[in-house]
Amino acid sequence: MTEQDTKQIKYNGAAFQGQLRFNEPMDRHTSWRVGGKAKRFYQPKDADDLAVFLNQLMEDEQIFWIGLGSNLLVREGGIDGTVICTSGVLNGIEQLDARIVRAEAGVACAKVARYCARLGLTGAEFMVGIPGTMGGALSMNAGAFGGETWTLVKAVETINRHGQRFLRKPAEFEVEYRQVRGVAGEWFIAAHLELTTGNSEQSSALIKELLEKRNVTQPTGQPSGGSTFRNPPGDYAGRLIEACGLKGYCIGGACISDKHANFIINTGKASAADIEALIIHVVDTVEKAQGVKLQPEVHIVGIQRPAPLDGRFSAIDGHRVPSQSGKGVYKPVIQDAKDFGKVAVLMGGWSAERDISLKSGNAVLAALKRRGINAVAIDVGDDVLQQLERGKYERAFIALHGRGGEDGVIQGGLDIMGIPYTGSGVLGSSLSMDKLRSKQLWRGAGLPTPAYTIIDEHSNFEEVAKVIGLPMAVKPVYEGSSLGISKVTHAADIAAAWKAAQKLDDSVLAEKWIIGSEYTAAILMGEVLPLIRIETPREFYDYEAKYTADDTRFICPCGLDKAQEHALQRLALQAFEALGCEGWGRIDLLCDTDNKPWLIEANTIPGMTDHSLVPQAAKAAGIDFDELTWRILETSIVRQRQRSMA
């Protein structure tokens, strides 16, 4: 089955009237003209039909929305989910009253600008420069020529995956430059725009002027994704890229435009991998040369298609490549312990994981000293920065778990002081600690993670049970070590689980419970170590199972065949990179009864106790505990060298 027409058809037992395609090539629907296939591709007949279609999808079905496909890069591996395309179908536009215009999500922004001008309504002229649809403009607060979409928004219409529709006000959204945060699990289907009464001829003349300016300054005749990067505060991405001499620079068939450096064009033979590699190269080059880390405006989705690899996997400059030996052979960064200088081992802190942090820190401290390193313990408190300054420390081994350690707080302080440290930076740490943001980024990158929602005292727990399904996990958003997690099998128990989690954090996540096998992937210096399968007679791998129980089984080799283990290793590395993590860490996964993998969470400072998983994975790879601590400390050297090149 390749395509259906608009007569009534059925899928998953539900009748709807739009067009459904399977294995649809996404290069037909993106302005870059690249991308793999979407497992399912649906164009609804109208909003009512869309509601029917959404309501029949499985709860864990990943949904991707597109309009004209600008600002979108789909990887060659395609999209394992359902793409809903609004372009050309949700295209209604009408005047509601003297100053209000309603435009559905599939209406091109340029059409909105012209429609308003014909009515003699001003303020939307800038939208002629936005190469997308109303839905995309709403979701990212798109702008052009100094104007931004949400300055016009009077109200928006949204829809959730059950087909329920809502009329919402701007006050219900957090709107910033090129990003909008609203109600989780809802998507835009229309906007109500408030304009100013003006002169039709003047508006039309301004639109013509802006189009001429766009044609002169931008590569409008070549396939591109629109502006590739957000403008940093007080500057322009194009200026920074041009200042680095990157105009005309190419990787494969992807090139930086000679006309405008913030546009990457497809010369006709580019792959999605070429474009993504060029984006990464621009970010790295500008950061090193200009000290500014550009943020892509482009959404990158879908499965990255890695080359077949033997042995373990490593990542260099964002590209998946074999280790230099092909077998993960380690090449020391530091030969002499004295070259590390004076090292502060940061432990303790104030989080709920303080006791485990002290155990990890003391184990690390002893190992470093056994290797001849000048290491000193610091029990982190309010005066930690003063202690670091007084002690004249040259680098830090961070063994802090939970808040204050894994959330980017201590990393920010160390960055300000210029002290190199182990592991991930501020961004990777904060994103990984935030389970909600982690899952949102993974979903945006096309990576599998269980269905979820945020719950609070106002939530309808019966409805939550219907949306997520039972059993479910209820957990704090910002804690680790499985603290505050409850398995809920009855809707009546959700309230108690929420209260238990809320004691540790105000934000609480309800997540679909995956029944299957649990695995963990340790990552060290860009290399994925052998997987560990975790088995416990308890309800799940909770705090006691992790740190005190003697009946938890850690199985390594994990029991998967080589191809299965490699697939999970690739997925773990993709998840690690998607969050901006560096150095070392751990990704926890579950495989359901159909052997489908699900990403659960990331840990940027895993435990280093006798029960901990990273030391066990390292041991399976032939790395003893003392050697492991040395290599983790070497990640601070890598960070130091990267900063010196900036």
Instruction: Return the number of other C-beta atoms located less than 10 Å from residue 44's C-beta.
Output: 25
Can you say how many angstroms the Cα of residue 84 is from the centroid of all Cα atoms in its chain?
20
DSSP letter at 513 equals P
Closest residue by Cα to residue 208 from 109, 100, 117: 117
Q: What is the CA radius of gyration of the chain?
A: 26
Mean pLDDT across the stretch 368-375? 96
pLDDT of residue 304: 67
CATH number listed for the domain at residues 324-450+514-646:
3.30.470.20
Same topology, domains 93-208 and 324-450+514-646? Answer is no
CATH number listed for the domain at residues 93-208:
3.30.465.10
Q: Are 532 and 557 in contact (CB under 8 A)?
A: no
**Residues acting as catalytic residues:** 353, 481, 547, 586, 588, 601, 603, 607
CA gap 441, 543 in Å, rounded: 26
Across 110-124, 291-305, 494-508, 545-559, the highest mean pLDDT is recorded for 110-124
Q: Are 162 and 134 in contact (CB under 8 A)?
A: no
Instruction: Return the number of other C-beta atoms located less than 10 Å from residue 171's C-beta.
Output: 7
DSSP letter at 297 equals -
pLDDT of residue 564: 86
The residue whose two tokens read 């879908």 is 302
Mean pLDDT across the stretch 244-269? 92
Closest residue by Cα to residue 606 from 316, 356, 439, 420: 356
The HSE-up count of residue 594 (CA atoms within 13 Å, CB side) is 3
* 3-state secondary structure string across 143-190: EECCEEHHHCEEEEEEEECCCCEEEECHHHCEEECCEEECCCCEEEEE
pLDDT of residue 539: 59
Closest residue by Cα to residue 442 from 589, 591, 312, 606: 589
- The pTM (predicted TM-score) of the whole model is 0.51
pLDDT of residue 6: 38
Instruction: Return the number of other C-beta atoms located less than 10 Å from residue 323's C-beta.
Output: 20
- 197 burial (CB, 10 Å; 0-12 / 13-18 / 19+) is exposed
pLDDT of residue 594: 87
pLDDT of residue 343: 97
Inform me whether the pLDDT recorded for 60 exceeds 60: yes
Q: Are strands 37-43 and 19-25 parallel, antiparallel or unpaired?
A: antiparallel
Question: Residue 324: which pLDDT band, with cuts at 50, 70 and 90?
Answer: very low
Q: Are 429 and 423 in contact (CB under 8 A)?
A: yes
Helix (H, G, I), strand (E, B) or coil at 464: helix
Inform me whether the pLDDT recorded for 142 exceeds 70: yes
Inform me whether the pLDDT recorded for 127 exceeds 90: yes
Q: Are 180 and 174 in contact (CB under 8 A)?
A: yes
pLDDT tens sequence across 150-199: 999 999 999 999 999 999 999 999 999 888 998 888 999 999 999 999 99
Can you say how many angstroms the Cα of residue 628 is from the centroid of all Cα atoms in its chain?
28
- 218 burial (CB, 10 Å; 0-12 / 13-18 / 19+) is buried
| Domain limits, the chain | 93-208, 324-450+514-646
Question: Residue 57: which pLDDT band, with cuts at 50, 70 and 90?
Answer: confident
Mean pLDDT across the stretch 298-323? 50
Mean pLDDT across the stretch 313-339? 51
CA gap 96, 193 in Å, rounded: 10
